[in-house]
Amino acid sequence: MNKPTSFGIWANTDKPSFWKVLPDIVSWAKNKSIDLFITTRIESQLKDHDFDYQLIESADDFVKLDFILTLGGDGTILSLARAVNDRGTPILGIHLGKLGFLAEVVVEDMFTRLDEVVAGNFTIQKRMVIKCVVNNGSEPQTFHALNDIVVDRGKSHRLLNCDLLANHNFVAKYNADGLIIATPTGSTAYSLASGGPIVMPTFGSIVVTPICPHTLTLRPIVFPDDQVLEISFPDEEGDDMALAIDGQVNEYLKSSAEVLVQKASFDINMVNFTDSNYFNTLRTKLGWGVRGVN
């Protein structure tokens, strides 16, 4: 990738820390002679400003950008990833939240990393996306997720009953609170909290993790990314099941619904650096492999 000449800002504008750092980002862009784009949401909340910018008015404007700087937590990155979709614009995540796993760069290191990007000292790490097609009694709906797709019992207090097939082969009947279908990126999110495995982010796979299964032998399973997973509800009677895409898009499912999940035809491009260490991130963000205090 060539040295960037333009970039955009996508942010969680509810965080005061974003507004504190924004003037410094504007000054940095001016000093580097890089064109700055901001979202209409950011513009609508600007008070007094005396800097030049262009607007990201629709998702198609992402193609004008060499990269997008996202400031917030993991949810901010997930919403941006869905907006970018198949347009390929690289994302550089800056962590403003409490935990944050997807955004490796902290505010204190932001301008050091931005200088590296301008100098061309970065790489692009491709993150797998999964496509979810939902047949729910009307026209099929298509969603995309960078982290995970979750089917759970929704409004009901009963266990969810569903069947899982992979490439038309019966896998198992699940009686559980729900089912998580995660990408490698999402393997360290809800899936991990539910007992699923950690999967390296560049390893092509789909993880299926049951939530509180009623059968001890139903453990998480890792599928290769060439599998088409099919979830159906032949034993359900109500229409209370819920579908969540990256924890942010919700749809209630009928008992006759069918959910198809497979690898999407595109990836999300994340800005990465040669000295980035995934295992160090696991240790510092999630406490992986760290023994408790005696």
- Which pLDDT tens digit goes with each residue over 121-160? 899 999 999 999 999 888 899 999 999 999 998 887 788 8
* Token reading at 292: 């408790």
Q: Write down the catalytic residue from 74, 148, 152, 240.
A: 74
Cα gap 200→197, rounded to integer Å: 10
CB atoms within 10 A of CB 4: 20
State yes or no: pLDDT of 31 exceeds 70: yes
> How far are the Cα atoms of 137, 205, 220 from residue 229, in angstroms, in the given order?
19, 12, 14
Q: For residue 294, what pLDDT band results from cuts at 50, 70 and 90?
A: low
CA 24 to chain centre: 27
Catalytic residue list contains 109 = no
Find the largest Cα–Cα distance for the chain: 63
Q: Contact at 8 Å (CB) between 212 and 177?
A: yes
pTM: 0.91
More confident residue, 49 or 113: 113
Percent of the chain with pLDDT over 70: 97
